Amino acid sequence: MSSKSMSERSFRLKIGEKWWRVDFVGSDDISRGSWGEADWPTARNPKIAIYGNQDEKNLIDTTIHELLHAIRPELSEEAVTETATLLANGLWKMGCRLEQDKSSS
């Protein structure tokens, strides 16, 4: 991933009535071969884990993807995948990029 460290990217987001934690993690903290994982919204302290070692555009796509699962759990995997990738592509064309770590530039 880009120069900002994984833990610095972590954030919390209120979705419905619950605060979700979104963490960017290494391969030890996510299923093998998975780019991202989201809890069910019924979890007491719901979390999303995003594999941090992917390129910038895919990182945006994966984050939108997992947030969509959290926001709209009724959507199919296919609908989430298509919507997230199109949104990521549109935002990328608009010029959206990840913030870089100031200490390393």
Least distance CB 27 / Zn ion (angstroms):
18
What separation in angstroms does the CA of 40 have from each of 20, 69, 80? 11, 8, 15
Which residue type sits at 90? G
Instruction: Pick between residue 42 and residue 105 the one whose CB is nearest to Zn ion.
Output: 42
Least distance CB 80 / Zn ion (angstroms):
5
Which residue type sits at 26? G
Per CB under 5 A, contacts with Zn ion among 66-85 are 77
Instruction: Pick between residue 28 and residue 77 the one whose CB is nearest to Zn ion.
Output: 77
Angle formed by the axes of helices 56-71 and 77-94, to 10°? 130
Least distance CB 69 / Zn ion (angstroms):
6
